Chain A
Amino acid sequence: MELIEKLEILGAAAKFDASCSSSGSDRRGSFGGIGSAYKAGICHSWAADGRCISLLKVLFTNYCINDCAYCINRRSNDVRRAAFTVDELVMLTMNFYKRNYIEGLFLSSGIIKNADFTMEKLISVAKKLRKEENFNGYIHLKVIPGASEILVKEAGLYADRVSVNIELPSEKSLKLLTEKSRESIIKPMTSISCDIIENREERSKTKKLPVFAPAGQTTQLIVGATPDNDRKIVKLTEAFYKKFSMKRVYYSAFVPVNSDNRLPVVSLPPLDREHRLYQADWLMRFYGFKADEIVSEENPFLSEDIDPKAFWAMRNMHLFPLEINSAAFEMILRVPGIGRQSAFRIVSARKNGSLDFDDLKRIGVVLKRARYFITCRGKMMPETVVSEQTVLEAMKSTSTRAGAVDHTFEQLSLF
């Protein structure tokens, strides 16, 4: 089979994995070598679906011994199959990288023979890139559920980031739709997070030790393939950040590729729901929100019409309006229409003198939303009428995914 055909099959087979970013690593280029993993993560292109392409994301092979219900590569599917050789993949990565098509390699795989055998293949690609080709670009390796601890350790030595997909929000769903056990997923996650911490401690003593997965670990789960509610997902996400010092949790809207009576019948992937979950995730990571503030037990689903930040604000009107010239940073962050960058700008601009609504506009505050929650020098913006009706209207009209006017979440569209 020609290489171009393999690339087509194994690229298409990997495209449903959401986690493509290459952020958070700072691998300096070594002289005469090639590459440097840039700390902010660079998008090299945007596909026709608007998703950022940063890494060459492929499967090593799409042959698989498993038969997970939602997966296009499951063994019972009749699809074209292919497998790279280690050399082919190394050569492709190097040549794409030199042309600045990509930031590095994101390698995952279907399971051939068993977890360890597959994991070893992935590791040898990374090893060859680093050791023989002197490659300093970004490498993200997927950990195959069930791979032994020692291999997970080795993967972390060559890769900037390692990840294990949690796949589904609950053990029950996992059992119903896959042949993976929760344990085979959680175990490597735990050991990665221990290795990262251990390595950090040891490196503080001797700098000579190699860094273990400098960009940390991430995970991904599928949204909408099972009845699990948003609260479950948001709580799970929170636990991942707290307990596994996870760098990111990615959500991917369920795209039906198989017909299977264990799966729900949907015509379109639940993109709006995925979008809201990313917003919720953002609120926990950068805005100081707790999972319980975002989705309650009584209302376990995120609102469709209103983004979670506005939703929270509307239920807590007694905390507003805030005086922009004196309010605490943490509270300014919680105002709908004020993103992180604007909040930072507000508190530093205040040191130069007090701010009025024109200044806020310049700073980038979306006044259409924020006006109901703030005052400047003790006054609300002229002609602002605060009632349940007006606020609801304003929040609704600016909350849609397509008309992303609110800069609060502009980064989210990366996915």
Chain B
Amino acid sequence: MIFLYDGTFEGFLSAVFDAFLCKEKVEIGKKCGWQPQLFSETVEVETVPEKAERVADKLLSVCGRRGFSSIVYIFLSEVEKCETYDFYLIKTLFKRGTKAFSYFQNEKIFQAVNIRKKVAREFDKLLGLLRFTELSSGMFYAPFEPEFNILPLVTTHFYERLSGTKWMIHDLRRGIAVYHAEGNTENVEFIDEMTSHLNMIAVLGKSENEEDFAKMWKNYFKTIAIESRINPKLQRQFMPQRYWKYMTEKN
């Protein structure tokens, strides 16, 4: 049986609720963009906040906040079939408790845990590799193109780290952004699809001092390497080239 939901996390948890007692093989997918399959039955899930909350509460009581965040990570991966793997992980968690996270003998759980690891890895990397540029308006702006949808995760980190500044983090790949000022964060509403993928540095321009700091940083970055230890392979291994595009010192 295939359960199709609206693409929100709440919708996904509602689908988990509805699919839970299903005796057949379960698949969960997003409504939009779903390719109908010939022989399997599909149902459209209605997003019901109460249902989602019940699943969330149960999850929290079974595996705590850390365990719960794993479920969120897998969901945010947007990897093919991630919702289905996530569903089976949740089901196993309810049955076996946190032991389920190390049920590597099971293919679906193994896939789920692996996806979680990949998302966590990108999240960890980008906490460091994200670069803010001061725009002419005084706002600090960080564009990036993450493989997974980790904007909600990095937001929490920078909320604490840069609480005294106005900033915006912009996922140019997905066309979504979060803006922060004085302790409040909000999702940015773009006027149209094209604008949502536009790098604001080009639109608004940099602040007066910006180039000076960028130059000093680049220069520092160059001097800090020890000549007799140069090892570009090692450098790339830690700092994958796909992230270089928005990094000050690599441009």
A residues near B (Cβ < 8 Å) are: 3-4, 7-8, 11-12, 15-16, 28-36, 38, 40, 42-54, 56-57, 92, 95-96, 98-101, 103, 134, 255, 268-269, 271, 345, 348-349, 351-353, 355, 359, 362-363, 413
Q: Return the CB mask of B192-229 against A: 1 if under 8 Å, else 0.
A: 00000000000000000100110111011111111011
- Report how far A118 CA is from B4 CA in the complex, Å: 66
Q: Which residues of B contact A7 (CB under 8 A)?
A: 216, 219-220
B residues near A (Cβ < 8 Å) are: 96, 99-106, 110, 124, 127-134, 140, 142, 157, 160-165, 183, 209, 212-213, 215-217, 219-226, 228-235, 237-239, 247-249
Residue ID in chain A nearest B160 by CB atoms = A29
Partner of A48, one of B157, B232, B247: B232
| Contact present for B235 and A48 (CB under 8 Å) | yes
| Contact present for B232 and A45 (CB under 8 Å) | no
Evaluate whether A45 and B129 lie within 8 angstroms (CB atoms) in the complex, with A99-B248, A101-B217, A359-B105 already known: yes
| Contact present for A101 and B131 (CB under 8 Å) | yes
Evaluate whether A36 and B235 lie within 8 angstroms (CB atoms) in the complex, with A31-B183, A45-B221, A99-B134 already known: no
Q: Which residues of A contact B217 (CB under 8 A)?
A: 96, 99, 101
Partner of B238, one of A40, A52, A268: A52
Report the minimal beta-carbon distance from B183 to chain A, rounded to whole angstroms: 7
| Contact present for A11 and B220 (CB under 8 Å) | yes
| Contact present for B238 and A255 (CB under 8 Å) | no
Q: Which residues of B contact A4 (CB under 8 A)?
A: 212, 215-216, 219
| Contact present for B127 and A42 (CB under 8 Å) | yes
Residue ID in chain A nearest B114 by CB atoms = A362
| Known contacts A45-B239, A51-B225, A54-B128; 16 further A-B pairs (Cβ under 8 A) | A4-B215, A4-B219, A7-B216, A29-B161, A31-B183, A42-B127, A44-B128, A46-B234, A46-B238, A47-B235, A50-B233, A348-B99, A349-B102, A349-B105, A352-B106, A362-B110
Partner of A8, one of B110, B130, B223: B223
Q: Which residues of B contact A351 (CB under 8 A)?
A: 99, 102
Residue ID in chain A nearest B101 by CB atoms = A348
The 6 lowest CB-CB distance pairs between A and B, nearest first, are A50-B234, A348-B102, A49-B229, A29-B160, A48-B225, A47-B225
Report the minimal beta-carbon distance from B10 to chain A, rounded to whole angstroms: 29
Secondary structure type dominating chain B contacts: helix
- Report how far A61 CA is from B115 CA in the complex, Å: 47
- From B100, B231, B233, residue with most partner A Cβ within 10 Å: B231
Report the minimal beta-carbon distance from B221 to chain A, rounded to whole angstroms: 6
A-B CB contacts (within 8 Å), total count: 164
Q: Which residues of A contact B235 (CB under 8 A)?
A: 46-50
Q: Which residues of B contact A348 (CB under 8 A)?
A: 99, 101-102
Q: Which residues of B contact A8 (CB under 8 A)?
A: 219-220, 223
Report the minimal beta-carbon distance from B28 to chain A, rounded to whole angstroms: 23
Evaluate whether A100 and B230 lie within 8 angstroms (CB atoms) in the complex, with A11-B223, A348-B102, A355-B105 already known: no
Q: Which residues of A contact B226 (CB under 8 A)?
A: 15-16, 49, 51, 255, 269
| Contact present for A36 and B160 (CB under 8 Å) | yes
Partner of A50, one of B142, B213, B231: B231
- Report how far A35 CA is from B161 CA in the complex, Å: 4
Q: Which residues of A contact B239 (CB under 8 A)?
A: 45-46
Residue ID in chain B nearest A13 by CB atoms = B223
- Report how far A348 CA is from B96 CA in the complex, Å: 12
Q: Which residues of A contact B238 (CB under 8 A)?
A: 43, 46, 50, 52, 413
| Contact present for B220 and A44 (CB under 8 Å) | no
- Report how far A51 CA is from B131 CA in the complex, Å: 19
Evaluate whether A100 and B160 lie within 8 angstroms (CB atoms) in the complex, with A269-B229, A352-B103, A362-B110 already known: no
Q: Which residues of A contact B101 (CB under 8 A)?
A: 348
Partner of A101, one of B104, B110, B237, B248: B248
- Report how far A3 CA is from B102 CA in the complex, Å: 53
| Contact present for A45 and B128 (CB under 8 Å) | yes
Partner of A43, one of B128, B222, B229, B249: B128
- From A33, A51, A99, residue with most partner B Cβ within 10 Å: A99
Report the minimal beta-carbon distance from B131 to chain A, rounded to whole angstroms: 6
